[in-house]
Amino acid sequence: MLDKVKEIYQEIEQFEVQSREQLEQFRLRYVGRKGVVAELFEGLKQVPQEDRRAVGQELNSLKDFAQQRFKEYSTSLENGDGQEEASAVDLTLPVAPGPYGALHPLNIVLRQVITVFERIGFSVADGPEIESDWYNFGALNFPDNHPARDMQDTFFVEKKSAGAPSDMLLRTHTSNVQIRLMEHRKPPIRSIMPGRVYRNEAISARAHCMFHQVEGLYVDRNVGFRDLKDTLYHFVKEMFAKDVKIRFRPSYFPFTEPSAEIDISCQICHGKGCNICKHTGWVEIAGSGMVDPNVLKNCGIDPEEFTGFAFGMGVERITQLRYGVNDLRLYTENDVRFLRQFQGA
Ligand code: DAH
């Protein structure tokens, strides 16, 4: 019996465990209830009474030894030390395709807008979202008592007195970047200025307190309304269907004179009438006009020598017309069921 015990000790010493299969074989043979060690315990009954205690102790040590080894092998396999497990990973295989992200629809559209304007010589400029009253309103020719300055429209960060040029606010439009550009650069200036803007609006399907605009500005000698019309006409043809119609509606902005709002034929119902165009067949996409001489003066540009046009359009609106997105809240909710639809777009 003791010889048999010795033999099994040796066997265990020599047993190599490098895979899960080998570990299972080890378990069945030395740890399991039908294994060789268990068999020896069975045989204990036949050992003469006087030796039984000593042999029993030997068998217990053997059992402990086998269990200890088993534990060591299983933890080392779990930690990935097993050579066979390691070599089961073929490092030359290509990576399995994972879930890819998609560009946000607003970014897709913004990139397209930028491409269209870059091709006709516009550069891209950027400006701060936390802005002073001067850049957001004052320099843009807003009178002190203009309703847009009111608390209901503007998020003030720091308000000293009504219309103080140093009041700090979240910009309500991207027109602040026009001022910053004209202050620092000499004409010709031909830039678009994309960015985020904020207004104190209750969030609903049709309104949001945060949205995006692309501002445009072209200042040079002899820039006329004709150039504004040509540029925007080109833009809508590039962005939308080739048969898109455009119309300029007389309007008012403090920073442009004359001013016009720009409508295009509804890209959702193609003029038949739907909720998006409120059954008119037309959708407003931008405000525009000739830069008011006062604004040029505020930036140190001589309005006798230079003229310019400007426009500002809503990125959400253009995205709505491109993709039929009907609820502004979808853009910021991060719902993957919405975002996934733009994979590969
Ligand atoms: N800033 C205007 C707005 O937020 C949009 C706009 C209108 C921008 C006319 C312009 C412009 O540059 O010329 O509603």
Dist. CA 268 → ligand 1 center (Å): 24
Computed over every residue of the chain, the mean pLDDT equals 92
- Give me the percent of the chain exceeding a pLDDT of 70: 97
- Domains of the chain as residue ranges with CATH: 2-81 (no CATH), 105-342 (3.30.930.10)
Q: What is the pLDDT of residue 235?
A: 97
Q: Is it the case that residue 6 has pLDDT exceeding 70? A: yes
Q: Which of 299, 290, 292, 270 is nearest to 282 (CA)?
A: 270
Atom of ligand 1 nearest to the CA of 291: 13
- Total length of the chain: 345
Q: What is the pLDDT of residue 145?
A: 81
Q: Is it the case that residue 343 has pLDDT exceeding 80? A: yes
**Global model pTM greater than 0.85:** no
Q: Which of 146, 249, 311 gets mutated to test ligand 1 (max ligand atoms within 8 A of its CB)?
A: 311
Q: Is 170 helix (H, G, I), strand (E, B) or coil?
A: strand
Nearest residue (by CA) to ligand 1, atom 2, is 312
Relative orientation angle of helices 49-78 and 36-43, to the nearest 10 degrees = 170
Q: What is the pLDDT of residue 344?
A: 78
**How confident is the model over 158-203, as pLDDT tens digits?**
887 766 888 899 999 999 999 999 999 999 999 999 999 999 999 9
β-pair partners for 27: none
Q: What is the pLDDT of residue 276?
A: 87
**How confident is the model over 54-86, as pLDDT tens digits?**
999 999 999 999 999 999 998 888 876 545 555
Q: Is it the case that residue 330 has pLDDT exceeding 70? A: yes
- Give me the percent of the chain exceeding a pLDDT of 90: 72
Residue 172 in contact with residue 153, Cβ under 8 Å? yes
Beta strands in 96-245 (DSSP E): 123-124, 130-132, 156-158, 168-170, 189-198, 210-220
Name all residues whose Cβ lies below 6 A of ligand 1: 173, 175, 215, 253, 256, 287-289, 310-312
135/180 Cα distance (integer angstroms): 7
Mean pLDDT of 291-308: 98
The values of phi and psi at residue 18, to 5°, are -130, 0
Nearest residue (by CA) to ligand 1, atom 3, is 173
Mean pLDDT of 42-50: 89
149/155 Cα distance (integer angstroms): 9
Dist. CA 341 → ligand 1 center (Å): 31
Helix, strand, coil distribution of the chain in percent, nearest 5: 45, 20, 40
Burial of 170: CB neighbours in 10 Å, binned 0-12, 13-18, 19+: buried
Atom of ligand 1 nearest to the CA of 174: 1
Dist. CA 175 → ligand 1 center (Å): 6
The confidence band for 98, taking pLDDT boundaries of 50, 70 and 90, is: confident
Q: What is the pLDDT of residue 166?
A: 81
Q: Is it the case that residue 113 has pLDDT exceeding 70? A: yes
Q: Is it the case that residue 214 has pLDDT exceeding 80? A: yes
